[in-house]
Amino acid sequence: EGRSKTFSVQLKPTPGHPRTVTLTSNNPDITIDADPDQEGEQSTLTFTQDKLGKPLSVKLTAKHDDDSKHEKVAITFTGDGIKTYESAAIAVIDDDVGLNLSRADERALKVGERSSGIFVLRLKTDHIGSRTPALAAPDCKDVAADSSPLDFTGGDRGSGDWSGRREMAAVIDGQCGGLAGRKAQVDLEYHSARDRPEQFSALADRRTAHAD
């Protein structure tokens, strides 16, 4: 997810005259570019006379979505005089992950003004690349994370240290805009070195912090 890969298409047996092949994906999150040298995304391969016996490259790109599911995509090929009995199967590995926090909603972290409390974080599933959670409190600008970046390194087939526990301090510095004695919502955002910062609100657990 969020990356691109290429594969080749070749006509067999080699036809005697030029052919065009249109590629179609059954998933809108997969984009097809049959000619990366042209501006925009081209979904048609053109086998000119000099390319009839040669493989042509196709670039596939998987867009980011808001779920955390791996997906299977089928690419079909159509065109005049083109017979295909199977589609190309593409596996999209999702890079969104969920978080586990140490406290349930009904047991909000109590933090006194100008003091701090500790959340313990753990990723629910493995992921690709590196993820760095960041704490944000939209109800109270005085709530912040007081810790060094918490990097979770993922990898293929269980490599990386994604399953380790991390501690993050939630600090309330100031009077929290009159929220003393009430709850301040705490959100967690993911920051990836590869992507722009994105907030996966459907995937990250949401907890509260008391401004005592």
Counting residues of the chain whose pLDDT is more than 70, the rounded percentage is: 43
pLDDT at 82 over 70: yes
Beta strands in 44-101 (DSSP E): 44-47, 56-62, 71-78, 88-92, 99-101
Q: For 56-73, what is the mean pLDDT? A: 86
Burial class (CB in 10 A: 0-12, 13-18, 19+), 121: buried
Which pLDDT band holds residue 46 (cuts at 50, 70, 90)? very high
Residue 156's SS3 state is: helix
Task: Return d(Cα 194, Cα 127) in angstroms, integer.
Answer: 13
The string of pLDDT tens digits covering residues 2-29 is: 889 999 999 988 888 999 999 999 999 8
User: Quick one: tokens of 123?
Assistant: 């990723």
Q: Which domains are present in the chain?
A: 4-92 (2.60.40), 99-211 (2.60.40)
Please state whether the predicted TM-score (pTM) of the whole model is above 0.75.
Answer: no
Task: Return d(Cα 154, Cα 10) in angstroms, integer.
Answer: 36
Q: For 78-90, what is the mean pLDDT? A: 83
The string of pLDDT tens digits covering residues 99-158 is: 555 544 445 566 665 666 666 666 665 555 566 665 555 555 555 555 555 566 655 444
Structural contact between residues 19 and 47, judged by C-beta atoms closer than 8 angstroms: yes
Which pLDDT band holds residue 66 (cuts at 50, 70, 90)? confident
Structural contact between residues 67 and 101, judged by C-beta atoms closer than 8 angstroms: no
